[in-house]
Structure formats: structure tokens, C-alpha cells
Amino acid sequence: MSRTRIKICGLTREADVAAAVAAGADAIGFVMYAKSPRYVSPARAAELARLLPPFVTPVGLFVNASEAELAAGLQALPNMLLQFHGDESPRECEGAGRPYLRAARMGEGFDLLNFASQYSSAQAVLLDAHVEGYGGGGKVFDWSLIPKNVPSPVVLSGGLHAGNVLTGILQVRPIAVDVSSGVEEAKGLKSAALIRQFCDAVRQADARIQELST
């Protein structure tokens, strides 16, 4: 059985990167969207990414970024996975020539099957709640809105924390989960204890799935 991968997003401090790595995170997200309280510049993201060991992936979150902004991010972190969280078209997402995740803002009437088919070149679609503005709002959406036959791998996001991620994994069976506000003391300031509790809950979910399959 493939285990559920874990992405901790919105990191701004060295101590938080170290805590995420120690807890077993597979990916670390850096928000390169200037309007976000978790924003880090490409140079700062590169400083933090130097702390990552092999096989922990840096992810750069962008919202309707210009070509110059994307280029600056990729120059600073050439090995990062891109995450598009705005209104980017499939052509714009593919234009950077890098593997990418495409965020889908889930809400009543949203056609995820059509959306995923449009972005078939994405590594996965990241499912987040539909909120005002961009970049994720830390809100849980109705997981029953997710069709069973999504043609792309799914990353579950939106208001996750140690208390609900087990249920989310059991219900949705995503390839990965993405958390930000659910492991924070304040916006952009992570809690090592909450990160550890979240990662432990993901592993508990995987163990439960393995039990159910035997």
C-alpha cells in the first residue's frame, strides 16, 4: 500500500522547517504570493530550502504570477514543484516547463471532473475550499462533493488538522494531504507539537486503511 504523503505549507522560519522534517513531512510549501501573511521572497525560500534533506520536496505556491515572478522563483529554487492557486490556464501552468500541482476551489456546482481533465498535465489536483481571495483560507469543504472517478491524483487540503485528517484520508483516499493553518500558533508561525500530531494522525489513517484491506 502506498502511504499518504504529507505537505506542510506556509513555512517562514528555520525552526519550522526543521520541525516539519523531523516529523516526517514529504514536502515543504513556500508561499510566493505577496498578499499572503505567509509570504516569503524567492531568496528567503531558497535559504529555508537549504535545510531540506534529500527526498523532501520544496513546493512554491504562486497566484496569478507574472512570467518574471515565476522565473525569479525558479532561479532561486530550480528543483521546486510549482503549485498554482489562482486563475492560471492550463497553458500558463505548462509554460514554466516544470512539474506542477493545480489547486481547485471546491464549492457547490464546481465541476471537478472537467477541471481535472483540463489540467491533465498536472502532477495532481489540490482540493481546497472556495473562499474569497486566493491562496487557501483554512476552511474545510464538503468532502462528499469529490467525485469517485477524478482522472488525476488528488491532494486533500482545506482546514485540515490533527483532529480531522484521519477522517479525511479514510473518506477521500488522497495521495497526499496539505496543511498550513492547522499546525500554526499564528499565521506563518508553525507549532512543532501540532506538526508532529498531524503527521502522527496521517500515519494512523494509513494504518487503519491497511487494517481494512486485510
- The tens-digit pLDDT sequence of the chain (214 residues) is 589 999 999 999 999 999 999 999 999 999 999 999 999 999 999 999 999 999 999 999 999 999 999 999 999 999 999 999 999 999 999 999 999 999 999 988 899 999 999 999 999 999 998 665 555 566 899 999 999 899 999 999 999 999 999 999 999 999 999 999 999 999 889 999 999 999 999 999 999 999 988 8
Q: For the domain 5-213, what is the CATH superfamily, name and number?
A: Aldolase class I (3.20.20.70)
Residue 128 annotated among the catalytic residues of the structure: yes
Residue 16 annotated among the catalytic residues of the structure: no
Among candidate residues 102, 52, 101, the one with its CA nearest the CA of residue 77: 52
Do 161 and 183 meet the contact criterion of CB atoms below 8 Å apart? yes
Cell triple for residue 175?
A: 495521495
Tell me which of 16, 93, 128, 199 is the catalytic residue: 128
Do 38 and 28 meet the contact criterion of CB atoms below 8 Å apart? no
Whose cell is 464546481? That residue is 110
The residue ranges of every structural domain in the chain are: 5-213
* Predicted pLDDT of residue 133: 58
Q: CA-to-CA distance for 65 and 80, rounded, in angstroms? A: 16
Spell out the residues 6+ positions from residue 54 whose beta carbon is closer than 8 angstroms to its own.
Answer: none
Q: CA-to-CA distance for 23 and 197, rounded, in angstroms? A: 9
* Predicted pLDDT of residue 209: 94
Among candidate residues 208, 180, 207, 205, the one with its CA nearest the CA of residue 195: 180
- Roughly how many angstroms between the first and final C-alpha of the chain, as a whole number? 11
H or E stretch including 146?
A: none
Do 48 and 76 meet the contact criterion of CB atoms below 8 Å apart? no
* Predicted pLDDT of residue 2: 84
Tell me which of 9, 93, 178, 199 is the catalytic residue: 9
* Predicted pLDDT of residue 131: 63
* Predicted pLDDT of residue 139: 81
| Phi and psi torsions of 179, nearest 5° | -130, 145
